[in-house]
Amino acid sequence: MQVVKSIVDCVGSTTLIRLGAPSRKTGCEILAKMEFLNPGGSIKDRTALGLIRAAEKSGELRSGGTIVEGTAGNTGIGLTVIGNALGYRTVIFMPATQSQEKINALRLYGADVRLVPAVPYKNPENYVHVSERYAKELNEQQGNVFWANQFDNTANGDFHYATTGQEIWQQTDGEVDGFVFAAGTGGTLSGVGRALKEHKPATTIALSDPTGSGLYSYYAHGEFKVVGTSITEGIGNSRLTRNMATAPIDLAFQIPDEESLPWIHELLRYEGICVGGSSGVNVAGAVRLAGELGPGHTIVTMLCDYGTRYRSKLFNPQFLKEKSLPIPEWLQ
């Protein structure tokens, strides 16, 4: 019999797919891991499992414990899906600006969701700080509370090093010339970047950063400077997290929504792949990296989550019109 014992065993080992239009346009092989196939519907199931397993190992999280985290949503969903299967409760702090669909999914799975105003990291009311304070208070009251701290807990990047990075190396038979990704915590870029550089130092590791984030200017010009805005969620940052600090970045691109959204529409309409905003930034970044490397190279990126998670934004003609952003032709 071929059976898995738990949904926890279904995290990772995602399919690598060739993206037709981006490959044809660039003369490169543009490949992407279908991370939306993870049980919680996003790449962040990997982070969630990595953080939980490390906390169990260190003794920070024990049977029946509570996990507290600040998240744009996907890590919260991952922690809750895996937490349900392993017997942990979750308390999830999220900026109120994140999509209603992610909030609904968290509530559906039974997370205790707390929405907080979206304010910068330097403000003590930022969701990351609020979640840390709450975790400390709850731990004093009941004990066995684990603050996951995905941005600065390097168990995040280490899990990507051990899984995502090795999967890419094996699935491409080592024929990978570049990896490009949009960073949130930096866990994926650090883990995959370190793994691929170790196997093949010549691999180019590139950051694909949305407008509204300070990371591009940090890698391109050495200082954090935020330019523009973006409707994408879960990506971009204005500080160097402990995970991002170990990402071996060779190149950085800045991608406006006007460039990433058409890729989302094209993947859906012509390849049947429905993904969220960060995947559009990743594919746009892969096309830019192909331009740098030239035809004949193999570039890997990630399709991070399902587009249905952002239906009220990415596929809402009214919302897009208000923002003067491209509207999918079949929804006009």
Residues noted as catalytic: 44
**Sheet holding 204-210: strands in order across?**
16-18, 29-34, 298-303, 178-181, 204-210, 251-255
The answer to whether residue 12 forms part of the interface with ligand PMP (CB under 6 A) is: no
- Neighbouring CB atoms inside 10 A of 133's CB total 14
User: Shortest approach of ligand PMP to residue 124 CB, angstroms?
Assistant: 21
Nearer to ligand PMP, 282 or 297 (CB): 282
Nearer to ligand PMP, 83 or 280 (CB): 280
- Smallest Cα–Cα separation from 47: which of 35, 63, 57, 59? 35
The answer to whether residue 304 forms part of the interface with ligand PMP (CB under 6 A) is: yes
Nearer to ligand PMP, 253 or 297 (CB): 253
The residue number with the shortest CB distance to ligand PMP is 234
- Restricted to residues 163-182, the positions that interact with ligand PMP (CB under 6 A) are 182
User: Shortest approach of ligand PMP to residue 74 CB, angstroms?
Assistant: 4
DSSP state of 228: S
Nearer to ligand PMP, 215 or 297 (CB): 215
Nearer to ligand PMP, 67 or 297 (CB): 67
Using CB under 6 A as the binding criterion, the count of chain residues that bind ligand PMP stands at 18
Chain centre to alpha carbon of residue 315: 20
- Restricted to residues 179-218, the positions that interact with ligand PMP (CB under 6 A) are 182-188
User: Shortest approach of ligand PMP to residue 149 CB, angstroms?
Assistant: 12
| Gyration radius of the chain's alpha carbons | 19
Nearer to ligand PMP, 86 or 128 (CB): 128
- Restricted to residues 34-93, the positions that interact with ligand PMP (CB under 6 A) are 42-44, 72, 74
Q: Retrieve residue 15's tokens.
A: 């399919």
Q: Which of 41, 78, 193, 234 binds ligand PMP (CB under 6 A)?
A: 234
User: Shortest approach of ligand PMP to residue 308 CB, angstroms?
Assistant: 13
Rounded CA-CA distance 48/259 in Å is 30
- Neighbouring CB atoms inside 10 A of 122's CB total 9
Q: Which of 32, 61, 155, 235 binds ligand PMP (CB under 6 A)?
A: 235
- Restricted to residues 241-280, the positions that interact with ligand PMP (CB under 6 A) are 276, 278
Q: Give all strands (DSSP E) within 21-174, no chain letters.
A: 29-34, 66-70, 89-95, 112-116, 145-147
**Sheet holding 145-147: strands in order across?**
112-116, 89-95, 66-70, 145-147
The strand pairing partners of 113, in sequence order, are 92
Residues composing the chain: 332
Sites of contact with ligand PMP (CB under 6 A): 42-44, 72, 74, 182-188, 234-235, 276, 278, 304-305
